[in-house]
Structure 1
Amino acid sequence: MTEADGVGEAIARELRLMDPHVRTSRALARRLLDPEFVEVGASGRRWTYDDMVAALPEMEGAAAGGPRYEPSEMTGVALAPGLVHLTYTTVIDGQRARRSSLWRRDDVDGTWRMYYHQATPVPSMGA
């Protein structure tokens, strides 16, 4: 697998995590999150794997008819073999955030899983 393949796979999986169908399925979310997953959310809260899997179905972007994440400017770079860093911006329900994710490839089965995620709110231009 080339570095570009790893970046492409991480981007595809990042986008899957924004899909309401995936967000409401703990089984699907578990397949995309690394067991050592940690997130620092836009609220400043620290989330672990267990916290996120439990809460994801009730979080923003999970309702099929509700607001959805609108990602833009997504780019990625391979930091090392089996490690990809993604950066992008999202808007959901009028709230904008800059995001950063680390994806790592499992040495045993080759699956890419999100290892770390951070969201930083972006104030509105009028504020």
Structure 2
Amino acid sequence: MTGVEEAVAGELRLLDPAVRTSRTQAARLLHPDFTEVGASGRRWGRDDMLAALPGMTGADPGGPRHEVSGMTGVQLAPDVVHLTYETVVEGRRARRSSLWRRSPDGVWRLYHHQGTPVPEGTP
């Protein structure tokens, strides 16, 4: 599997309720230096994200889910992949950007993520 394919698979796993509610599974996918600037504008670190993820939208198997579209990726360096895509959840759109880094053990982990809300009516 290419780095882009690995990053896409990891990104989609992070949107799966089973992973969002499992600190162990989510921790495997987040880089030790993980940061995020969420669609809310809040800045997150790894520990904060792991604690909050089970209560976030998309964690409840019977609740609203993130609908993903247009995911594309580019390998910026041998150990770095950049993904971009959009999500819709409960009618709210967000444009998303993720940087994935391959660790020395060969595992791809999410290093940085940013979500930007798309104003209603924007094409």
Matched, 1:16 2:26: no
Equivalent residue, structure 1, for 2:44: 47
Q: Please state whether the residue corresponding to 2:73 is helix, strand or coil.
A: strand
Q: Which runs of 5+ in 1 are unaligned?
A: none
Question: TM-score scaled to structure 1, two decimals?
Answer: 0.94
Equivalent residue, structure 1, for 2:78: 81
Percent identity over the alignment is 69
Report the Cα offset of residue 119 of structure 1.
0.1
Matched, 1:97 2:89: no
Report the Cα offset of residue 6 of structure 1.
0.3
- Runs (4+) of structure 1 exceeding 6 A deviation are none
Q: Please state whether the residue corresponding to 2:97 is helix, strand or coil.
A: strand
Q: Which runs of 5+ in 2 are unaligned?
A: none
Equivalent residue, structure 1, for 2:109: 113
Matched, 1:29 2:1: no
Q: Please state whether the residue corresponding to 1:44 is helix, strand or coil.
A: coil
Distance 1:58 1:27 in 2: 15
How many equivalent pairs are there? 122
Question: TM-score scaled to structure 2, two decimals?
Answer: 0.97
